[in-house]
């Protein structure tokens, strides 16, 4: 045979080796997946993992007691926890009820499996869902996750609203990302852009005749670093008023005791001014408006926030001062 024939033969041999390698790799991958499926589906210690998860959740916050009603495997290669409840140890009040949490391996993150455990997750609760990805470091107690909240009904957090002594409602959505170290989750870094639609927050004392802050939409960007939550670009739109705000919340282990330092402007609309029954209050507000707005400040704590209005002459006395808890 001539040189050309020998060259073609060598190319054919190399091609056969390449095809053989591909088939071997595919066969090994199929075998590995089959073994993982068998171990996960038939040998998964669901009860032991359920008890372990409850203990880990309790360790994250000793003030809460967690219960997982059921843990099982599901297709494809998923672990599902159902009916998860968080209760206060003192009093046993139900703070959160999660319908379902589903985890499965994050295929896109398998290249980092030597450094971390990558998973995709879906959480169903508050008549909405949270979908995203997470990773737990294999050598250190570090966790990172990102995701998207969609149509969470915050009125369903009845236990938390009861602790605050007021009611609230609204539909919460938006993306977020978090990176921190267990168990000090409040010391981690969080970024989120939130939207709350068709919301309402009950006021313990009326503000300008309002017993509830009902709004069409609230938007804000949140940034958490070293237990300080920074709020930027806050806007609230209502048929009765418009407001913009920003500031910080200094988080404590008891979240309701977290300190507030938030300021902004409040613009009463004609519909609100027309509903005021006291002419003196109406004249007071009109006389203090600057560019049709009042400045306000929120202080104290999440549990008992204080609101202070300022107009053209400073702090507004009378019915507005100190109201709005």
User: For 251-280, what is each residue's pLDDT tens digit?
Assistant: 988 888 999 999 999 998 888 888 777 777
Measure the CA–CA gap between 245 and 235, rounded to whole angstroms: 6
pLDDT, residue 322, reads: 37
Closest CA to 173 of 213, 218, 133: 218
Determine the pLDDT at residue 167: 92
| pLDDT tens string 3-52 | 555 555 655 565 555 555 555 555 555 555 555 555 555 556 777 878 88
pTM: 0.80
The helix (run of H) or strand (run of E) holding residue 323 is none
Bridge partners of 295, per DSSP, are 265, 310
Three-state SS at 26: helix
| Omega within 30 of 0 (cis) for the link into 132 | no
- CA dist., res. 74 & res. 104, Å (int): 9
- Tell me how far CA of residue 311 lies from CA of 108, 203, 305, 316, in angstroms: 55, 21, 20, 6
The residues of the chain scoring below 50 in pLDDT are 317-319, 321-325
């Amino acid at each position: 045979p001539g040189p050309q024939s020998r060259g073609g033969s060598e190319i054919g041999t190399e091609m056969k080796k390449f095809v053989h390698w591909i088939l071997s790799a595919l066969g090994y991958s199929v075998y590995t997946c089959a073994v993982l499926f068998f171990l996960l589906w038939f040998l998964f210690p669901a009860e032991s993992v359920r008890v372990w998860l409850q203990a880990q959740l309790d360790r994250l916050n000793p003030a809460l007691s967690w219960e997982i009603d059921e843990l099982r495997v599901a297709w494809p290669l998923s672990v599902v926890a159902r009916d998860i409840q968080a209760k206060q140890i003192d009093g046993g009040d139900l703070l959160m009820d999660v319908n379902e949490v589903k985890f499965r391996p994050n295929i896109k993150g398998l290249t980092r499996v030597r450094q971390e455990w990558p998973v995709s997750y879906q959480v169903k609760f508050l008549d909405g869902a949270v979908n995203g990805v997470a990773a737990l470091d294999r050598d250190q107690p570090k966790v990172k996750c990102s995701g998207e909240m969609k149509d969470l009904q915050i009125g369903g957090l009845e236990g938390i609203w009861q602790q605050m002594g007021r009611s609230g409602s609204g539909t919460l959505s938006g993306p977020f990302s978090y990176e921190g170290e267990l168990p000090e989750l409040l010391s981690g870094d969080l970024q989120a852009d939130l939207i709350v639609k068709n919301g309402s927050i009950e006021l313990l004392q009326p503000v300008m005749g309002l017993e509830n802050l009902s709004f069409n939409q609230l938007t804000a960007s949140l940034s958490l670093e070293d237990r300080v939550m920074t709020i930027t670009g806050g806007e609230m739109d209502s048929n009765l008023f418009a407001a913009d705000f920003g500031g910080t919340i200094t988080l404590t282990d008891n979240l309701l005791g977290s300190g507030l330092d938030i300021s902004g402007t409040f613009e009463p609309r004609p519909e609100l001014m027309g509903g005021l029954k006291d002419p003196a209050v109406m004249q007071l507000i009109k006389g203090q408006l600057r560019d049709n707005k009042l400045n306000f400040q929120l202080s104290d704590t999440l549990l008992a926030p204080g609101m202070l209005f300022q107009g053209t002459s400073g702090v507004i006395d009378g019915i507005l001062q100190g109201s709005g808890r």
